[in-house]
Amino acid sequence: FMYFLLWLIVTCSSLLGVDKLFSYAVTEWLNDIKKNQLPGILGGVGPMHSLVQLVQGLKDLVWLPIEQYRKDGRIVRGFQRGAASFGTSTAMAALELTNRMVQTIQAAAETAYDMVSPGTLSIEPKKTRRFPHHRLAQQPVDLREGVAKACSVVKEGFADTAHTIYETAAREHESRGVTGAVGEVLRQIPPAVVRPLIVATEATSNVLGGMRNQIRPDVRQDESQKWRHGED
């Protein structure tokens, strides 16, 4: 292929001249960027990935029937392929955008939790600690696992909250009596109000992640590989 490309460049240089050859090479390079490289670059920029997926689905919805008709005349088969690609791309884009919104709400809730939590609290619920890389590595494989993890998050979240309130109240009761225990329980009310929002958003994120990974298992594999390389 490289010999053929070199021969083509030499031939074009002989026929068109250096100026036209340079213009031709730049045009082909820009076309290659627009067709092959630009979608990948834009797809790696936050929410743009969802937009690129949606545009790709719309393109397949229109182009695949035409391509199939030109290939063997089976336009119905082309419409089926286009509709399937459009449905998958739309579902993936919607799931990713929703998951990003849920994660943003979760981050805001965690910040609010840190702000309203008592400064002297020594018993911290496990799930409020942030382990972003751990979450990337432990994504659910499918919807079933996502629902199972969501149920586990809800169960552990409420158990941690109840345990924290009980332990702090018992500790204050031993040192300061009933008055201290009541005061400590009152101090735990603001974080206890914010805590269910953190639990709910994390559970929702698990379900959405499971749905996404069931539709496109390769996405989870790619992200797991990136996480492993980042750790190395």
My answer on whether 128 and 230 are in the same domain is yes
Q: pLDDT tens digit string along 6-22?
A: 555 555 555 455 566 56
Domain assignment of residue 130, yes or no = yes
My answer on whether 123 and 228 are in the same domain is yes
CA neighbor of 93 nearest in space, from 130, 142, 51, 135: 51
Range of the domain at 161: 117-232
The residue among 59, 74, 100 that closes a domain is 100
My answer on whether 221 and 156 are in the same domain is yes
pTM over 0.85: no
d(CA 120, CA 109): 20
Domain assignment of residue 89, yes or no = yes
My answer on whether 83 and 123 are in the same domain is no
Residue 82 reports pLDDT greater than 80: yes
My answer on whether 217 and 155 are in the same domain is yes
My answer on whether 142 and 91 are in the same domain is no
> Residue 65: pLDDT band by 50, 70, 90 thresholds?
confident
My answer on whether 56 and 133 are in the same domain is no
Q: Total domain count for the chain?
A: 2
Domain assignment of residue 121, yes or no = yes
My answer on whether 50 and 135 are in the same domain is no
> Residue 128: pLDDT band by 50, 70, 90 thresholds?
very low
Lookup: tokens for 224: 């797991």
12: exposed, middle or buried (C-beta count within 10 Å: 0-12, 13-18, 19+)? middle
The residue among 42, 75, 100 that closes a domain is 100
